Every structure is written in C-alpha cells, then in structure tokens.
C-alpha cells in the first residue's frame, strides 16, 4: 500500500493567516491526490481533486499543488468556518489511502 504522511498533525493559526499543510506519499503518485475537509461531527467533503483542481462551489481561498511524492494544501486567509480536520487521499494505486489528517484550530 502507498502510505500518505501529513504534517503537521495539528496547527493553530489566527483568522486571516495563511495556512499550509503538506502530504507526502511513500512513492510517486503523479498528480493523483485529493483533499477533504471534515468539520467536527459531520461527514468529510471533497475540496480538491487531481492535486490542484477546486471542486465546484469550494471557496477560492483553498488551493492545492504538487506532484510526485510531495503535495501542499493552502488556505490563503483562514476563516472561522475553516476549523476542521483536513485529509489527503491518493488514488494512484489500489487501495485508496488517506493521510492521517491535520486538525486546524483558531488561535
């Protein structure tokens, strides 16, 4: 299985801050990566697919980049409603695998 390692596991930032999360794959996965947001107590939501394509309706402050083994997820200006845990997920090889998650809190 391809292992996905996210860092940090948690972070605390102020409203308006730029927030960056990284996701590293254990082998080359090209651009085959998705990002999800899970707010407390509810199901996850797809934010970004193909490493950098924003899902319809997702605010433009969210973005993704990277290819190969190293990927980045960015919130350009953190908002109170962005409090959530964020997960990366690879789909290059079966089985689909998620990263361990990054919990984002407001300072």
Residues engaged in binding another protein (CB under 8 A)? 1, 32, 34, 36, 38, 42-46, 49, 55, 87, 89, 91, 94-101
Q: Are strands 10-13 and 102-106 parallel, antiparallel or unpaired?
A: parallel
**How far apart, in whole angstroms, are the C-alpha atoms of residue 41 and residue 27?**
32
Nearest of 32, 47, 53 to residue 87 by alpha carbon:
47
Q: How far is the CB of 87 from another protein (least distance, A)?
A: 6
In whole angstroms, the minimum distance from the beta carbon of 13 to another protein comes to 21
CB of 19 or CB of 51, closer to another protein = 51
In the bound state with another protein, the residue whose beta carbon lies nearer, of 15 and 46, is 46
Q: Which is nearer to another protein, 9 or 77 (CB)?
A: 9
**Closest Cα to residue 46, out of 7, 12, 87, 14?**
87
């Amino acid at each position: 299985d391809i292992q996905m390692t996210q860092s940090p596991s948690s972070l605390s930032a102020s409203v308006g801050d730029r927030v960056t999360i990284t996701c590293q794959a254990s082998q080359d996965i090209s651009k085959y990566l998705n990002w999800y947001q899970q707010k407390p107590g509810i199901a996850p939501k797809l934010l970004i697919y193909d490493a950098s394509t924003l899902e319809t309706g997702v605010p433009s402050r969210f973005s993704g980049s990277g290819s190969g083994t190293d990927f980045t997820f960015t919130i350009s200006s953190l908002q109170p409603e962005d409090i959530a845990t964020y997960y990366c997920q690879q789909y290059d090889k079966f089985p689909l695998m998620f990263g361990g998650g990054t919990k984002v809190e407001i300072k």
